Amino acid sequence: MTSTDPTGITVAAFQELIRERYFASDNARGTAGTFLYLAEEFGELATALAANNRPGKPATADERANLEEEFADVLAWLATLANINKVDLAQTLIKYTDRSRVEGVKD
């Protein structure tokens, strides 16, 4: 991997960074156990989103920082799942980056 600059890191570089740091323990845990960690992080992200979107009550600096951390955690666990299942996340994004394949919007 060539760069860990958070402002310019690619999806591929991020996935490789996660692989380098955590693959051995993640792979030993397996898909099912790792998916449970991802699910836990989704719940924490949901809680953080709620705290940052209360009508009439702006989020605190700590709540905003936590929201950003939870987004990062979800991405890291998703990269972990992709790594242990031999999925190249950058390659899968063609579904959204190839204009001939992108159709419609969700309501």
Tell me 57's DSSP state: B
pLDDT number for residue 57:
96
Return the CA Rg of the chain. Answer: 16
Could you tell me the pTM of the whole model? 0.85
Q: Tens of pLDDT along 24-65? A: 999 999 999 999 999 999 999 999 999 999 999 999 999 999
pLDDT number for residue 2:
46
Q: Tens of pLDDT along 77-97? A: 999 999 999 999 999 998 888
The C-alpha torsion from 90 through 91 and 96 to 97, rounded to 10°, is: 90
pLDDT number for residue 4:
55
Closest CA to 83 of 8, 41, 43, 29: 29
Q: Which domains does the chain have, with CATH numbers?
A: 33-97 (1.10.287.1080)
Say which residues have a Cβ less than 8 Å from residue 2's Cβ, sequence separation at least 6: 13
Residue type, 103: E
The more confident residue out of 101 and 60 is: 60
